[in-house]
Amino acid sequence: MSRTVLAIDTATAAVIAGVLRRDQSGQVEVLAQRIAVDAHAHAELLTPNVVAALAEAGLPMAAIDAVVVGCGPGPFTGLRVGMATAAAYGHALDVPVHPVCSLDAIGGHTTGAVLVVTDARRREVYWARYRDGVRIDGPGVDAPDAVPVDGVTAVAGSPAQCALFDLPIVGPALPSPAGLVAAVADWEGQPRPLIPLYLRRPDAKTLAERAR
């Protein structure tokens, strides 16, 4: 059965929204997409990007059969925007919401032994390792010199973070709507719970935590 899918991701500095059609054979067609890079405007840009992608695709919101959302890893503030928005669309449209690892939307398009990295701030990177597009290690968050790179022959992901590794840079720099849709492992079963991959506690602390 063919599905019209809304794909969104806010796990990196990019605010990503796309409308895609996935047919019964698994082939994916991108009908429209909007990608804006602004690490401080996820909340302001995500809904306009969704609306613009739907308009370009010539579809109403009611045409969406499923939502796919990148669940990180990513910084707390940006990531929760995408997760909350996906949950709201799923509830309003009464459609399934499929969470996927945002790094898989990059690594799934690579071949060979590839490290995927994105900005975790605090001089750290989010990372995962892939072999021919399949994740074999991670996701994790570490300082660049603590990331396991044995056997890795290339790096993909955020350009500034890729430059921290003495490896050839390949593959996508950002999660793509098509990559997000391709990362869904099971379209027929019950979607996994919407659990964000923060990988560490947020910077903000409660008064009790500060007192301790």
Which H or E run contains 7?
strand 3-9
- Strand pairing class (28-37; 3-9): unpaired
In the predicted model, is pLDDT for residue 204 greater than 90?
no
Q: What is the identity of the amino acid at 88?
A: A
In the predicted model, is pLDDT for residue 212 greater than 80?
no
172 backbone dihedrals φ, ψ, rounded to 5°: -70, 150
> pLDDT of 7-62, one tens digit each?
999 999 999 999 999 998 999 999 999 999 999 999 999 999 999 999 999 999 99
Do residues 115 and 156 touch, judged by C-beta distance below 8 A?
Answer: yes
Residues of the chain with pLDDT > 90, as a percent, come to 88
Whose CA is closest to 176, among 33, 45, 74, 31?
33
Residue bearing the bigger pLDDT, 141 or 209: 141
What would the CATH number be for the domain defined by 3-102+175-182? Answer: 3.30.420.40
For residue 201, name the pLDDT band (cuts at 50, 70, 90). low
Residue spans per domain, the chain: 3-102+175-182, 104-162
Burial of 60 (0-12, 13-18, 19+ CB in 10 A): exposed
